[in-house]
Amino acid sequence: MKLFAKLIILLTLLSSSIYAGKKEDILEAVRDGDVEKLKTLVKGKIKMNFADSREMTPLMIAANDNNLEIANILIESGVDVNIKNKENGKTALMYAASNGFIEMCQLIIADKDIVLNAKDKSGKTALMHAVFNARKEVTKLFIDAGANVNSRTDTDESAMTFALKSGRSEIVNLLRAAGAKE
């Protein structure tokens, strides 16, 4: 019986270290933009919904780097596009929105499971990240996709609050036309 228990423990440790190695391989492929390596790893049915030491998932890394091909592979493999960074609560869509990566935002929004109005730890939505960073085209994309233009942060700020503070009249006008309030 003791031998069996030791064998189970050994196999568990071995499989854990193999999985940890595969996770590092995935992160390396994503960071390096190595499409072929990632495709091979995806075929191995490895779960892609894990985070690195900065709480960034492979999709968040791809979104933040604007690597559309890598992001597309990850999304097609079935990653959860709504996972939040445990440190700040941001989703992959929020990283793309903050950087103004419109094609990346379009790719992520197209996922059938997207939660467009998800909030980070401060209560900001992807729309608010776009407005806060003066990303007019991304703001328009989110409005057209049906984002809640009147959502509020934990400190009672809205997308309109951020637009007015930044003095970006074209973004203010977009939000007003969509029914946003201060």
Q: State the sign of the Cα–Cα–Cα–Cα dihedral 91, 96, 100, 101.
A: negative
Q: What is the pTM of this model?
A: 0.85
Q: Which residues of the chain have pLDDT under 50?
A: 6-7, 9-20
Q: What is the DSSP letter of 55?
A: S
How much is the pLDDT for 43?
A: 81
Predicted pLDDT of residue 1: 57
Q: pLDDT value at position 20?
A: 47
Distances (CA, A) of 145 to 56, 92, 139: 25, 17, 10
Spell 44-83 as b/e; 16+ CB within 10 A means b.
eeeebebbbeeebbbbbbbbbbbbbebbebbbebebbbbb
Residue 47: per-residue pLDDT:
76
Q: What is the pLDDT of residue 10?
A: 39
Contact 147, 111 (CB under 8 A): no
The per-residue pLDDT for 182 is: 82
